[in-house]
Each structure stands twice: as structure tokens, then as C-alpha cells.
Amino acid sequence: QVQLVESGGGLVQAGGSLRLSCAASGIDFRSNLMAWYRQAPGKQREFVARISTTGSTNYADSVTRRFAISKNNAKNTVYLQMASLKPEDTGTYYCAATRFQTYWGQGTQVTVSS
């Protein structure tokens, strides 16, 4: 059974930082592309960042130079370090694992107050 469990969300003031974690089980973690998406109220889910099996990373323009994705293969965990947070970063953040299909976590809420 595949499980992706996000944690680390919360309420933070603008300019603050948070680190999200996503612990994966039931998948060959090293062979999966891992990514973070987010969904703001009333909006569609959007891509935030991804990290490949080889460790290469990509970011949405809106978060480049503020967010950093990383992973620990030994812990089957992917992270999203978020800095200089803005109110528009508010939303539910989802972890995704893709190899032959995509699995999603349940999400963790991030709220950035102005």
C-alpha cells in the first residue's frame, strides 16, 4: 500500500520560513520522481518543485530562489524548504511520487499571514 504523508505545514508570517516533509512508503523511493504541488482556495492545483531520481531539480517561476526541494533516499523522505514566504504562497501543499503512475499525499496546509 502506497502512502505519502506530508507534515510541517502551519501558520507563518510573511517573510518567514517553513520546512515541509513527505514520508513515502510502499514505493521504490529512489526510482520515483518526487514533486510538490499546491492548491490555493478556489484555484487549480499547481506545480511547485520536483526532484528527479538523479537529484536534478526544477521550480515554478513563482518560487525560484525562495524554495528548495531535497530528498533523503535513506529515509524515503522528500523536503520542501520554503523561505521568504508570501501571502500568495498560502494553500494546501501536496507531495507526489511518479514512476509508472502518480501517487498523491493528503496534503498539509500552509497559511502565510500579511
The pLDDT tens digits of the residues spanning 19-77 come to: 999 999 999 999 999 999 999 989 999 999 999 999 999 999 999 999 999 999 999 99
Predicted local distance difference test score (pLDDT) of residue 75: 98
Predicted local distance difference test score (pLDDT) of residue 81: 98
Predicted local distance difference test score (pLDDT) of residue 6: 98
The residue type found at 53 is T
Cα dihedral 103→61→14→4 (10° resolution) = 10
Residue 71 · residue 56 · CB < 8 Å: no
The closest alpha carbon to 69, from 43, 107, 89, 95, belongs to 95
Give mean pLDDT, residues 78-92.
Answer: 98
Predicted local distance difference test score (pLDDT) of residue 24: 98
